[in-house]
Amino acid sequence: MIRSVLTGTGSALPVRRVSNAELAEQVDTTDEWIVERTGIRFRHIAGEGETTATLARDAALAALAAAGLAAQDIDLIVLATATPDNTFPATATKVQAMLGVDDCVAFDVAAVCSGFLYAVQVADAMLRSGVQRRALVIGAETFSRILDWEDRTTCVLFGDGAGAIVLEARDTADDATDAAARGILATRLHADGRHNELLYVDGGPSTTGTVGKLRMKGREVFRHAVVNLAAVMEEALAAAGLPTDAVDWVVPHQANARILDATARKLSLPAEKVVMTVDQHANTSAASVPLALDQAVRDGRIVAGQIVVLEAMGGGFTWGAAVLRV
């Protein structure tokens, strides 16, 4: 049996770090208002010359270094983003060129904040097929480019960044027991397009011919997020044959501290098991799960052998969860 094993993580944030106080100088808001409602204290904003592709490249290089691999060892790149450098070609192909990979499979996945989870399942399925052996799975965004900076209810919530992981196909027969084998144990994904007008961008090539700006009905999104995330985490754990108390860490989409707290309570999970980084980089959409995962790996919280659950929900609505033994 082939299983996709996590071998390295990496992340990248733009140089420019913006505090709530700095943002309040341009937007009608306050540090207290933002922190109370979201838990966010800082976000990073891409500057001149920084794009989704450059951030993705930097995160990919960090993940490759952590895995002890060269770029040429990769034969699959799946990049999750809602803010590509161009309508086409896929930003993944630009990253491929930046890394100096002569030939590999490279494409983008668009599922907004759930994009990284979608990309993980796609890469996992392709690795299990035996055709590809090593994959770079990247979440990268420059949401600052699609924000309405006059809408204080949305512009304070988002930031730019990228995170990446390396997955490697391994035969579980090489492990002592299949039950203790490392790798992705189960993934579950969902979508419900009936709610697409609750979180969307009001532009696009085939509608307005413009990029558009992000629009969101926050209260409705919050309500759906707590219910959907708790349900899909339980579903993924059941598919993996694990109880909730077997979970060592939950690495959630970093959208809002209140959503994270409410989801943990709904699952009766201790708050100390939830990795929370939203205060430092805000909502980075598809980048937020790998950003948080990388931070928890690098600071020593997440270690080999632990059970980790990744989860996210985003515009569409799309949502999903993945259970892995790291």
Q: Which residues are catalytic?
A: 113, 253, 283
Run of H or E residues at 105: strand 105-109
Q: Are 159 and 143 in contact (CB under 8 A)?
A: yes
Please state, as a whole number, how many other Cβ atoms lie within 10 Å of the Cβ of residue 255.
Answer: 27
* CA 68 – CA 7 distance, rounded (Å): 9
Say whether 100 sits in a helix, a strand or coil: coil
Please state, as a whole number, how many other Cβ atoms lie within 10 Å of the Cβ of residue 16.
Answer: 16
Roughly what angle, to the nearest 10 degrees, separates helices 52-67 and 288-298? 30
Say whether 147 sits in a helix, a strand or coil: coil
Phi, psi of 308, deg, nearest 5? -125, 135
* CA 202 – CA 107 distance, rounded (Å): 24
